[in-house]
């Protein structure tokens, strides 16, 4: 009986590093990022995940997965930024 290959923290970190891109660099992801809406990013990420699951080759599958990971990360950052902004602007509980 063969052992299942383990997934390590180092491998996960490497996969996340591969998904990093420069949001200002021209390309398909820049066009998506320019929309400026985290709901749109999540929708496109789901579409890319569907494409990855239907892709016949591993290189193509990995390309779609990297793009989806990038969009998920961007969406997370946008949501965190919105929370920070709304927290900083919320003065309803201040005296006076």
pLDDT tens, per residue, the chain with 96 residues: 678 889 999 999 999 998 888 878 888 888 888 898 999 999 999 999 999 999 999 999 999 999 999 999 999 999 988 877 665 555 555 555
pLDDT of residue 93: 57
Beta-carbon contacts of 67 under 8 Å, excluding residues fewer than 6 positions away, are 19, 28, 29, 45, 48
Tell me the C-alpha distance between 74 and 69, whole Å: 9
**CA–CA separation, 71 and 58 (whole Å):** 20
The whole-number pLDDT of residue 63 equals: 93
């Amino acid at each position: 009986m063969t052992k299942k290959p383990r997934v390590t923290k180092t491998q996960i970190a490497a996969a996340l590093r591969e998904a990093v891109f420069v949001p200002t660099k021209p390309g398909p992801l820049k066009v998506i990022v320019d929309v400026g809406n985290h709901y749109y990013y999540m929708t496109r990420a789901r579409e890319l995940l569907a494409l990855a699951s239907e892709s016949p080759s591993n290189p193509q599958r990995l390309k779609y997965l990297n793009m989806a990971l990038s969009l998920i990360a961007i969406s997370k950052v946008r949501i965190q930024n919105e929370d920070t902004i709304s927290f900083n602007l919320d003065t309803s509980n201040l005296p006076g």
